[in-house]
Amino acid sequence: MSVPVYERILQLLEAEGINTLFGIPDPNFVHMFLKAEERGWTVVAPHHEAAAGFMAEAASRITGKPAVCIGTLGPGIANAAPAIQCCLVENSPVIFLSGQRARVTEQRVRRGRIQFVKQMPLFENSVKYAASIEYADQTDEIIREGIRQAIGGTPGPVYIEYPSHIITEQLDVPEPLPPSRYRLVNQGADIDRVAEAVQLIQAAKNPILLVGHAVHTTRSGEALKELAKLMNCPVIQTSGGTSYIPGLEERTFQYVFSNASIEAVTESDLCLAIGTELGEPVHYGRYRYWVKNEAIRKWIYVEQDPSAIGVNRPIDVPLVGDIRGVLPQLIAALRDTPLPPAAGLAKFMKDGQAELDSLAEESLTKSDGSGDVPIHTSRFVVEASKAFPEDGILIRDGGASVIFQWTYSQSKPHDVIWNQNFGHIGTGLPYATGAMLADRAATGKSRPGMLITSDSSFMFHIAELETAARCKLPLVCVVAVDNQWGLEVGVYKRTFGQGTAETGTHWDKDVRFDVIAEGFGCHGEYVTKAEDIRPAIARAYASGKVGVVHVVIDPKANSEEMPKYAEFRTWYAEGTQ
C-alpha cells in the first residue's frame, strides 16, 4: 500500500495498541493530527507541551502500553523537556515526536535562523534512544526501534524527529508487523530459575511480596492477586506501587507509612520483589527495617533488565523477564501446592485496619475549621479520601499534602497516579487528564477521577482545567489551600528554627480556585469547615462538570506536622539532601 510517512507512523503505533495522541499541532504535524482523528484516535491538544508529556506519561501507566507526545520544532519540544526528564526517572515508555526544519537549513552556514536549534543534543542524555528519520524509508525501522527501546529492559522515553520535507513523502509498504515479529513480548524467566524460586517460596514461613510501580504500569494486578493468594502472604507496596489490587486490599500495606508493613518486613524470611528498583524509598532492601533477619531472609527478584540484578543488594534467585510472562510461570508452579497462611498475616490485616480507623479518629481531634484555626491537613485528607468514588482513579500531587496522604488516606484505590521518583510537583492535573482520557479510549467508559493536591502544585498547569472541561471528564480536584510552599516552609523552620523569615515561600493574596474554576466553565466549591468537604465533593461530581473544591487548610500544621516526616527523610540514603 502507498501511504505518507505521517500515516505510516500512526499505523506502526496502532500495531502496538496505541490510540491516543497528546500535543499541540504545528505545520510538521497537522497532517498527522487530522489523520489520527479520522482513524478514531483520541487526539488532545493541551495548553503546554510539558502538560502534553505528562498526559502521555499517565496514559502509558493506565494502559500498560507506550504513549505518544508531540512537540513542535524548537520551542514546542523544548517545553516538553520537564516531562521527558520525568519519564526517564519514572521509567515511563513515552515516545516524544518532534519536527525539525529541512536539513538544508541545518547544514547552511547562516546566522539568525527562525525557530531553529539542533535538538538531538538537547535530549540524548535524557532518553533511552534518540533518532532522526532522515529518509522516508527509514520510518519503520526507527519507529520500531523506538518502541523496542522504550519498553525493553528498564522502560523509559525515546526521542524521534524528522525534517519537515520528510513527513508527507509517500511510502510503498506492507501491513505493519505485529509486535511479536520484531521484539520480545511477555518473555518468561529461565525455567530452572523458576524452579529454584518455587523451592524457596515453599520453604518460607513468613514470605512477603514487595510490589512496585511496574506491577501497576504493566497491568498485572490479576496475576499478582492469584500469586498472593497462593503464597498466602502480606503484600507490601513501595512508594511507587501504591495502587491497590482488587481482592488484596486488606492484606496490602504501604512500606514505612503503615506500621503493619514495618512488622511484616521485619519478620519476613523471604521477599519476592516484583516491579521495583529496590531503591532509596525501600532502603535498598538492606537497611533500617530490613536489618533484622537479613542473615536468613531469601530474595527472589522479578526484573526485566538483567543489568539491574544484584546492583542494590544481593539476590538469591533472579527471575529475568517481563512481569507479564514471569508471574504466570510462578502461578503455574505453585498452583497445586499453595502455602498455608503466613505467620502473622491475620494480625497484620487486623492491625492495618485498626491503624487506619485510629488515624481517622485522631484527625477528628485536630482543627476542623469551626474555630479560628483552619482545617488540619490530616482531616482534609481523611474527609477527601472518604469521598473517593468507587472504582475511581486517584491522582496525587503536592509536597506536604502528599506526605499527609500516605499516612491518613482512608481509600484504597485500584489506580493511583503520581510522580514519585522524580518528585516533580504540578503533574497532577495533566496526569489526571491523560490517565482518564486513555482509560476512556481503552474501555469505552468514563471512570471518575479525583485529584487531591495543594494550591502551589495546582497552579503549575491550571490552564489544563480547560482541557479537562473540553474533554468532559468526570474529574474533581480537591485543593488544599494554605497560600504557601508548605514543605519548604517546614524546611526553613527545621533548618533555622521558629521566627526566621521564610523567603520566597508565601504569597499575599488568597487565590480563589473555585472562582478560577468557574471562569473555565467548571464547577467551583469553597470550603472552610471539614464537615463540608464531602458534601462539596458530592455536589461537584453531581454537577456533571469538572469540579474544583477549594479547601482552606492550616498553614502551620501543614508545614510543621507532616506525619512520619523523619521516615521520609531516610529515603535519601546517602544523606545528600
Shared domain for 399 and 492, answered yes or no, is yes
Q: What pLDDT score does 575 carry? A: 60
Number of domains in the chain: 3
One-letter amino acid for residue 38 of the chain:
E
Please give the Cα distance from 547 to 536 (Å, whole number): 9
Half-sphere exposure of 340 (CA within 13 A, CB side): 5
Mean pLDDT of the chain: 94
Question: What does pTM read for this prediction?
Answer: 0.96
Determine contact, residues 275/218, Cβ cutoff 8 Å: yes
Q: How far, rounded to the nearest angstrom, does the alpha carbon of residue 396 sit from its chain's CA centroid?
A: 9
CA distance 188 to 237: 23
56 shares its domain with 169? yes
Residue 576 confidence (pLDDT)? 58
Residues 229 and 168 in one domain: no
Residue 6: the pLDDT is: 95
User: DSSP string spanning 156-201?
Assistant: --EEEEEETTTTT-EEE--PPPPGGGTS--S----HHHHHHHHHHH
Q: Of 315, 348, 381, which marks where a domain is finished?
A: 348
Amino acid, single-letter form, for residue 446 = S
- What gap in Å lies between CA 259 and CA 464, rounded to an integer? 38
Does residue 455 sit within a domain?
yes
Residue 550: inside a domain: yes
What's at 68, amino acid-wise? Answer: V
> Hey, is 507 helix, strand or coil?
coil
Which residues constitute the domain of residue 215?
191-348
Is residue 502's pLDDT more than 70?
yes
Q: Does residue 49 lie within any of the structural domains? A: yes
Are 418 and 447 in contact by the 8 Å Cβ rule? The answer is no
CB-CB contact of 313 with 284 (8 Å): yes
**359 within domain boundaries:** no
Do 171 and 223 belong together in one domain? Answer: no
Same domain, 122 and 143: yes
User: Are 113 and 262 found together in one domain?
Assistant: no
Domain presence at residue 467? yes
Helices assigned H by DSSP within 218-339: 221-231, 259-267, 323-334
Same domain, yes or no: 147 and 170: yes
**Structural domain contains residue 530:** yes
**Residue 553 CB partners (closer than 8 Å, separation 6+):** 374, 375, 376, 377, 380, 480, 481, 482
CB atoms within 10 A of CB 14: 15
Name residue, grid cell 474554576.
517
State whether 417 and 551 are in the same domain: yes
Say yes or no: 264 and 177 in one domain.
Answer: no
Q: Is 371 exposed, middle or buried (0-12, 13-18, 19+ CB in 10 A)?
A: exposed
- Which residue, 163, 181, 199, sits at the end of a domain? 181
Cell of 399: 509536597
**3-state helix/strand/coil string of 426-453:** CCHHHHHHHHHHHHHHHHCCCCCEEEEE
Query: CA-to-CA distance for 28 and 41, rounded, in angstroms?
Result: 18
Confidence at 442, pLDDT banded by 50, 70, 90: very high
Last-in-domain residue among 348, 372, 395: 348
List, for residues 269-312, the tens digit of each pLDDT value.
Answer: 999 999 999 999 999 999 999 999 999 999 999 999 999 999 99
Q: Do 174 and 200 fall into the same domain?
A: no
Name the percent of the chain lying above pLDDT 70: 99
d(CA 473, CA 436): 7
pLDDT at 202 over 80: yes
Tell me how far apart the alpha carbons of residues 116 and 132 are, in angstroms, rounded to a whole number: 15
CB atoms within 10 A of CB 325: 18
Q: Check whether residue 211 and residue 165 sit in a common domain.
A: no
Give the domain CATH number at 227: 3.40.50.1220
Residue 354 within a domain: no
Half-sphere exposure of 111 (CA within 13 A, CB side): 0
Instruction: Categorize the per-residue pLDDT at 1 as very low, low, confident or very high, splitting at 50, 70 and 90.
Output: confident
Return the CA Rg of the chain: 24
Q: What is residue 145's three-state secondary structure?
A: helix
**130, 218: one domain:** no
Residue 356 lies in a domain: no
**Taking the alpha carbons of 395, 400, 406, 408 in that order, is the dihedral positive or negative?**
negative
Nearest to 170 by CA among 139, 132, 131: 139
* Ordered DSSP codes for 515-532: HHHHHTT-EEEEE-SGGG
pLDDT tens figures, 379-438: 999 999 999 999 999 999 999 999 999 999 999 999 999 999 898 999 999 999 999 999
Q: Give dist(CA 40, CA 441) in Å, integer.
A: 10
Mean pLDDT of all residues in 58-86? 95
Query: For position 412, what pLDDT does the model report?
Result: 95
User: 465, 443, 475, 438: which is closest to 42 by C-alpha?
Assistant: 438
- Which CATH number characterizes residue 514's domain? 3.40.50.970
- Asked if residue 536 has pLDDT above 70, the reply is yes
Q: What mean pLDDT do residues 225-232 have?
A: 97
Q: Look up residue 577 and give its amino acid.
A: Q
DSSP state, residue 53: H
